[in-house]
Structure 1
Amino acid sequence: MQFLAYILVYPLLWIISILPFKLLYFVSDLLYILLYRVFAYRKKVVLNNLKLVFPDKSNPEIQRITKAFYHHLCDMIVEAIKSMTISELEMKKRFTFTNVELLQEIETQNRSVILMCAHYASWEWIFILQTLIKSRGNAVYKQLANKHFDKLVKRIRAKYNSYLVTTKDIIPTLIKEKKQGILSVNGFASDQSPKRNKAFHWQKFMGIEVPVHTGAEMLAKKLDMTVVFMKVTKLKRGFYQCTFKTITENPKDINNYGITDKFLKLVEEQITEAPEYYLWTHKRWKHARKH
């Protein structure tokens, strides 16, 4: 059944991926009507999240953010599909970097990087970064249920020396690379909610106390990696700009959870600037601690 689903859906994905951007975003607009107006995909989750973290915003403002978010969500979906066939030149034009030299300088110091980011703006085209640095790119991800689509996503990422590594495999992978002297930039989307029984640290995020992932910090300390925050800004439809900010060059000198807490503050700043670009469909606050 998995293969049947793949061979039925893949041709449609490929056709969408070769559309010029004007038509691609027309597909996004149609998808918006389906997700937001027809099926109301996770609309209750989105509204509950927004009302929880922005208690002072009026209902019209919440509605404005909600609609803008769904437009952006649909853009991200079609942009992910576009990744199948988009050229390197086109991607470099649409996903730019203000200070990639920060990572290049870390390379000259013979150090690997823990790159912490949030589900914000766009993370689909970040792998074009690998054309500008020498380090191997690893991105921590949750394996897809359909093994054929999982292989497709891995193949797309591998075009530019960027690889998807499961949460189960990331620790042995990084230990092996360190022993072999392989420099790497390792992407962690650390803003999701861990399982309550596996939480080591609780912290306020957007004013709500929640359990937070600490895996990126743990690995940085264990393997002595420089920790960098990746901020992505949506300039306009289909165009993004990425800026890197060093959180610490000496993770072992930072008190436990200090790196994670600083990361959360940086994410909060992003969300406050333009909340419509955060991934509100996730149940990020489902384990909120009640006082």
Structure 2
Amino acid sequence: MVELWNMISSTSTAIKSLVITWNLLLFIAKGLSFVLFVILRYGLRYRYRMIITNLTRAFPGRSTLEYQELLNGYYRHISDLCVEPFLFFCASDAHREQLARFTNLGLLSTLHQAHRPVVLLASHYGNWEYLAKLPQLTDYPVYTAYSPIKNHWLNRLLIYLRSRLGMSLIPKQNFYRQALMVLRDPHNLPLLLLIADQRPGPGSTKHHLPFLHQDTAVQIGAERMAMLSNATVLSIEARQTDRFQYQFTFRLLSEQAAKTVPLAITRQYYQALERVITHAPVFWLWSHNRWKGMAAEPA
């Protein structure tokens, strides 16, 4: 692991030592994104049926032209999404600040001073990888889940990239138990970051809410952990302000989760996410089979 980290650090230093301006990096990123767009949209037609099916079910009654505009916009977004980690990794602290801006960090400071553990609910909207910057911006130790992959070298690389700014990673296989221990630890005051809009796993208890004009199975593990630890629950909303750049805003869902009724937090989260998606649809993860098993599937 040490050798890998040294290799990556040396590579990063070598890149930064070259006379590569930020504008040149942006130019390279835009070029790579365009190539990816052509490949994904016209070459591979990456998950075309899945994307168009999800869009037509989520936004019924739109014209063929509107669906094609959404489809093309989504392919542009996922092409950018593939190159944005490259920008984020190579960026200086000042340029990283441009890529990911957080508007109301004072809310985290207030909660930390009040000694409140926090469960932060994010989503597959915008670029969630930019949230790796959070540990540099708050006094909270920040924890999140990760899914190990089979390729040992690539797994170590991804762990390094996601933790290099201070994020603590909990393996997904034992996540619920370990995360709950972290939240309940009286000597710790954590912020637990969760991507909460995923489809429930096989064998899990199914709870359903209306979301984007569809009956939607939802995970309630985040809400359950927050209630058991009486944490404060926040959501975080992303808005693209320029190409490759996002502004993040925290929203209070529950100050003391133990005092809320079941499903109230999850319902608030999905209602807020639906408003964000409806305002600017192309930035959500439409190529994911979010409603698997809920209706007839695309061929």
TM more than 0.5: yes
Partner of 1:211: 217
d(CA) in 1 for partners of 2:224, 2:173: 14
d(CA) in 1 for partners of 2:229, 2:173: 17
Instruction: Select which of 12, 33, 41 maps to 1:36.
Output: 41
d(CA) in 2 for partners of 1:289, 1:45: 13
Q: Which segments of 5 or more consecutive residues in structure 2 lack a partner in the other structure? A: 1-6
Partner of 2:166: 161
**Any idea what SS the aligned residue of 1:283 has?**
coil
- How far residue 42 of structure 1 moved from its aligned partner, in angstroms, is 0.6
Amino acid at match of 1:141: Y
- How far residue 99 of structure 1 moved from its aligned partner, in angstroms, is 0.4
**Could you state the TM-score of these two structures normalised by the residue count of structure 1?**
0.89
Partner of 2:129: 124
d(CA) in 2 for partners of 1:279, 1:171: 24
Instruction: Select which of 265, 276, 282 maps to 1:270.
Output: 276
Partner of 2:244: 238
d(CA) in 1 for partners of 2:186, 2:156: 26
Q: Which segments of 5 or more consecutive residues in structure 1 lack a partner in the other structure? A: 1-6
Identity within the alignment, %: 26
Partner of 1:190: 196
d(CA) in 2 for partners of 1:160, 1:100: 17
Amino acid at match of 2:70: I
- How far residue 210 of structure 1 moved from its aligned partner, in angstroms, is 1.9
Larger displacement relative to structure 2 (21-30 or 145-154): 145-154
**Any idea what SS the aligned residue of 1:91 has?**
helix
d(CA) in 2 for partners of 1:156, 1:172: 25
CA RMSD between the two structures:
2.0
Deviation per CA, 1:121-154, whole angstroms, max 9, x where unpaired?
Answer: 1112112121110111112233223232222122
**Any idea what SS the aligned residue of 1:210 has?**
strand
The 5 Å alignment of 1:108-147 reads: 108-147=113-152
Within the alignment, does 1:84 sit opposite 2:78 as a pair? Answer: no
Alignment: residue pair count: 277
Deviation per CA, 1:78-117, whole angstroms, max 9, x where unpaired?
Answer: 1123333332221112210110111111111111211111
d(CA) in 1 for partners of 2:181, 2:256: 21
**Any idea what SS the aligned residue of 1:133 has?**
coil
CA contact (8 A) 2:200 2:206 kept: no
